[in-house]
Structure 1
Amino acid sequence: MNAPLRDKSYFDQRATQDMAKHLQSAERSIQETMAYACRILAMTEQEAGLAGQISFRSKREGAYWTLRFGLGFDEATPEDFIEVDRDLNTLSGEGMANPATRFHLWVYDARPDVNSIIHTHSPWASALAAARQPLVISQMDMTPLHNDCAFLGEWPGVPIADQEGVIISKALGNKRSIILAHHGYLTAGASCEEATYLSVYLERAARMQIRAQAFGPLTPVNDELAAEAHDYLLKPSIVKATFDYWARQTHGVPSLAVK
């Protein structure tokens, strides 16, 4: 005799409890986490010279941590992160911030829930940006971005002044990612791990969209099911376990090993 079908919420609750018990994330300093994030971005081929940026909200008001300017993602070590104030004066560490990280300040001001920002000119997301195409959520692996990826249709120029920060933060709104036309993308996470997770999946989603379009128009995933998948795949335990896996992968490539 077949057992009665149980509601999906039962399995969701059970999986959540099991993950809390068995998926224990690694303990790292924020500088170590940011170094791993940079190496993960490099491993997933998201570098574009010195255009990529990563930051983390500091405990000091109006300040943030970022990779010192002049280094690529693949070179980052925990010692290479500096703390800067609202005028990009260096408060901790040695070196200067990428001047284009100034717009991060505006996102942090507008979004108290955001603690980390990643911005890159990655190949596939930049291709969507060049074509001025918003993301279409048409496959399960895209669903962490469902109703969570904004689109800015005009390029405000190199974001080294305040006005670009106003425009980008307003366009981002309450979402965790955005495609910037003629530019690249940005992800904004509650943690560095979440911002990195969204970055990797956004680049994959862009690649999938461009490839799938060769076969015809895209069909969006059912809205209700996509929303359910979004929330499930963004569970902190899944995000952090995935980040830890990618971090272990960087150790498998000698040139990417964090020093």
Structure 2
Amino acid sequence: MSPVTTQTSSEPIVQESSITFGGKANHTIPNFTDMYEKRKWMLNHMAAAFRVFARKDYAEGQAGHISIRDPVDRDTFWINPLGVHFAMLKAEDMVHVNEMGEILPDGNQLSINHAGFCIHSEIHKARPDVDAACHTHSIYGKAYSTFGKPLEMISQDSCLFYNAHAVYEGFGGVVLDGGEGKHIAAALGSKQSVILQNHGILTTGRSVDEAAFMFIAMEKSCQAQLLADAAANQSKPKRFIEDREAAFTYNATVTPFNLYSCFQPEYSYEISRSNGDI
């Protein structure tokens, strides 16, 4: 195990955990030499992420989107079509778009959420390290976003976001142009997640599995934060995790392999529920 490091800057310390317990890993991130095969794999996992979000009640009307950067042409990305329920989405339903918002011929030709394009296109342009981004109007995320405050380190799970999430305080209404998307991307900066004041939450990842797991974790952390805030009083004040322990927990858990692995039980369950029809 690497030594504990106290985090003193605003940037997260990312270290791969070397903790092993014998045996082989239950889940591994596949390596692809054929980027077209990787595209198929990514779209399959993207569809599963939408199914998981539907099961967790993150769908609301036509709002909400997940995007993945195309591994063949990295200046383009895939996003869900407008007006199709998360629970019905399949890999073949995803829409392939370029940075200009033009729908490309190798994907579904349905229209897309304009606000979703404005947000995700700016994130993908600003963050070449980000391969996936998730945003929906989940109930606890949008409830906690009204405070315009970062999550407090009140639990082991909230340490996933230790110095690794931002807050966008400049809500400009529904996103109808690239300007608001640029503001959101700027607020995200080099962080992995961002709380959008009066709007909801957004997470990113180096895989759609990672971004989806972090969205689920942030939504639950918002729920726990709201419950703790509601219960706190003078005789029962909240106690916070110290920086040293929060940094250690973050460093030991927030790695691409671990976050990818954390989503695989959800992915496998969706494959089982749909009999592979995804």
Give the TM interval when normalised to the shorter protein: 0.7 to 0.9
Deviations 1:193-249 (A, max 9, x none): 110111000000000000111221543311121112112222333222221101122
Q: Is the aligned partner of 1:192 residue 2:211?
A: no
Q: Which residue of 2 aligns with 1:13?
A: 18
In structure 1, give the amino acid aligned to 2:160: P
SS in 1 for 2:125: helix
Within the candidate set 90, 93, 114, 1:99 is matched to 114
In structure 2, give the amino acid aligned to 1:100: A
Question: Could you say which structure has the higher helix fraction?
Answer: 1
Say if 1:8 and 1:88 are closer, same or farther in 2 by CA, change over 3 A.
Answer: closer
Counterpart-to-counterpart distance in 2, 1:81 and 1:22: 31
In structure 1, give the amino acid aligned to 2:68: F
How many percent identity over aligned positions?
27
- Aligned residues of 1:141 and 1:201 also touching (Cα < 8 A): yes
Equivalence map 1:84-233=2 (5 Å): 84-91=97-104, 92-93=106-107, 94-101=109-116, 102-216=118-232, 217-233=237-253
Unaligned runs of 5+ in 2: 4-16, 31-39
Q: Which residue of 2 aligns with 1:44?
A: 56
- Aligned residues of 2:66 and 2:135 also touching (Cα < 8 A): yes
Q: Which residue of 1 aligns with 2:86?
A: 73
- Out of 119-128 and 91-100, give the one that drifted further: 91-100
Aligned pairs, how many?
Answer: 249
TM-score, structure 2 normalization: 0.82
Q: Is the aligned partner of 1:56 residue 2:56?
A: no
Counterpart-to-counterpart distance in 1, 2:49 and 2:28: 15
- Out of 109-118 and 225-234, give the one that drifted further: 225-234
1:251, CA displacement in angstroms? 4.4
Within the candidate set 15, 24, 40, 2:27 is matched to 24
Deviations 1:10-42 (A, max 9, x none): xx5342x858x3223376611101001111112
In structure 1, give the amino acid aligned to 2:177: A
- Aligned residues of 1:146 and 1:226 also touching (Cα < 8 A): yes
TM-score, structure 1 normalization: 0.87
Counterpart-to-counterpart distance in 2, 1:185 and 1:203: 8
In structure 1, give the amino acid aligned to 2:120: H
Deviations 1:79-106 (A, max 9, x none): 1111101222111222122111222121
